[in-house]
Structure 1
């Protein structure tokens, strides 16, 4: 440390202590989800990326601004702290997911059991949000509580993931009470409850072509539901009959391809690919670490988990490539239409990887 930083005549012990605590807090925060904001400009470097973090914050970062401040050049562990375009307290407790509804409404969910929505244009134009103020959402939905003996109410179950279907005006929530909820956007009330899982639900996707949803749960199964009847029409148990899967694990993540014909499930250290029309598993692949998020990229699969690697596989489960990424444990994958990928996770880190596999931009997110 240089002499100019150890000037005893201007020593401020409180500021020094606060700085150390703030640095430790930043290094222990997690970005649970990212999403690329809608933008008619095809250049991915001009896009905004939205983050949902473990301190309950929802923030937006400009990739071009991060590149200008040098976030693309710092490697090793010296990643720069990026300045958000807006930073708001979205939830009491961790924020787990962010999605866009009709490209105009930014939705988030979290540990407080709420789904909140903000007008995207108002967020970008707001100055008070830069201070971390509680900007009032235009949508605030709260999961129902269950009644017990003598009228006692259960805690509000958390929302671990959300999916949207703007055509039917619905938001689907994967909740901590083992239920999935369908919210009517027009009436702002629950219109369907999906019951059948025996443990809380990690992830949820909407099948718009077939009017179905698919959920992945801590009970080790994924289920396909008919939205009209709210009945489970198929139970998927990855690895149930596979001798390689020797221990029970949760279905931590699921993804659906654009044709809605293929499903990939992450369960512990295994990835399974399912042909939905045939209702059969076509491949099962063991990974080095627990899988925490998956997405389809055309006819290939991208996966991240409890290791600093972005893995690309084909539909047969063969590993095509592995790229080192910044978070030591990655929780989220987002794919831009141009092929640019965002990987985020522990350490409040977001790593932007180009379609060619190079690291375009890596930065730490600022906390509240």
Structure 2
């Protein structure tokens, strides 16, 4: 702790946790939200340029603003017009032109969507995860009241509510007209968005090969293709056949819980309660172990263009950047 403070780290930064990240629609900006309600904005052309600082003073954001006072930024995503953030009980849209300008410190929210609550209830659900279906400009939000809400980004209207989970939702993934959701209740549910119904349920904790009772049954992440379903949490990260829903590969990782797992081309990228982000083959072979600044990783985002970039963040004030996915090239600071 003394070493951290000798580098000028204040108490707020020392206890900071970065919960979510996204790239701008054009790929030129990286944005991150933290537990204090702040959003940091990095212009990638400047971030990736020459820097003459030292290890005690990593490069910081180009812009920063407070999205929520005394609330956390639980989730974040971007369209070409708006930066969209999620917190307790609401989703907010911020004008993209202001977000990336020197006027961002005075920014005001452009629009707000309130998550439906039970009448007379004082409890508002967290917006834990958001994703956008760009084909029809629809926003899906997985929330702390066990429900998935689908909103039109044209007018903010609630289009549908998907119910079935018995505990709060950690993550979502979408492919065409099919949506997958991962929940604290220990299940992954698959939904047909055309029929608006649940088509399949997978409960990894019931499989002895992946179950880890000491870590719980919760599922923290989900991703899928036409052939494969990837999920993990308390149970081990595993790859399942979409047609048979049988386990194909169990990934042997030194984690105490999986928060992130994604299928990227021919590799699996995974992170969680462990200091390294792992890159693996479908068969479980390790392609790379990338060290990070965090003991627990809560957010991994990547893009291929205009700059190939992978960004990792979690229980630290630092954000770790890779440009070839296999090793950490630089470290940014949130604030």
Length-normalised TM-score, structure 2: 0.88
CA contact (8 A) 1:295 1:302 kept: yes
Query: Take 1:122 and 1:262, find their aligned partners in 2: how far apart are those partners?
Result: 40
Of 324-333 and 244-253, the range deviating more from structure 2: 244-253
- Alignment RMSD (CA, Å): 2.4
Which residue of the partner structure matches residue 250 of structure 1?
A: 218
Would you say 1:236 and 2:202 are equivalent positions? Answer: yes
Alignment partner of 1:249: what SS? coil
CA contact (8 A) 2:296 2:315 kept: yes
Question: Which of 102, 106, 116 does residue 144 from structure 1 map onto?
Answer: 116
Which residue of the partner structure matches residue 72 of structure 2?
A: 94
Task: List structure 1 runs of 4+ shifted beyond 6 angstroms.
Answer: none
- Structure 2 matches for 1:78-89, cutoff 5 A? 78-80=56-58, 82-89=60-67
> CA shift at 1:331, angstroms?
0.8
CA contact (8 A) 1:90 1:116 kept: no
CA contact (8 A) 1:63 1:361 kept: no
Larger of the two Rg values belongs to structure: 1
> CA shift at 1:29, angstroms?
0.9
> CA shift at 1:318, angstroms?
2.7
Query: Take 1:36 and 1:188, find their aligned partners in 2: how far apart are those partners?
Result: 22
Query: Take 2:246 and 2:69, find their aligned partners in 1: how far apart are those partners?
Result: 39
Query: Take 1:239 and 1:286, find their aligned partners in 2: how far apart are those partners?
Result: 16
Of 175-184 and 237-246, the range deviating more from structure 2: 237-246
CA contact (8 A) 2:78 2:84 kept: yes
Which residue of the partner structure matches residue 3 of structure 2?
A: none
Query: Take 1:243 and 1:312, find their aligned partners in 2: how far apart are those partners?
Result: 21
- Gap change, CA 1:337 and 1:353, over 3 Å in 2: same
Query: Take 2:73 and 2:248, find their aligned partners in 1: how far apart are those partners?
Result: 34
> CA shift at 1:200, angstroms?
0.6
Give the number of equivalent residue pairs: 324
Query: Take 2:117 and 2:70, find their aligned partners in 1: how far apart are those partners?
Result: 17
Q: Which has the higher helix share?
A: 1
- Structure 2 matches for 1:92-241, cutoff 5 A? 92-101=70-79, 103-110=80-87, 112-125=88-101, 127-129=102-104, 131=105, 133=106, 135-147=107-119, 152-207=120-175, 209=176, 211-241=177-207
Query: Take 1:319 and 1:91, find their aligned partners in 2: how far apart are those partners?
Result: 42
Higher relative contact order (CA 8 A, sep 6+): 1
> CA shift at 1:36, angstroms?
2.2
> CA shift at 1:79, angstroms?
4.7
Unaligned runs of 5+ in 2: 1-6
CA contact (8 A) 1:183 1:189 kept: yes
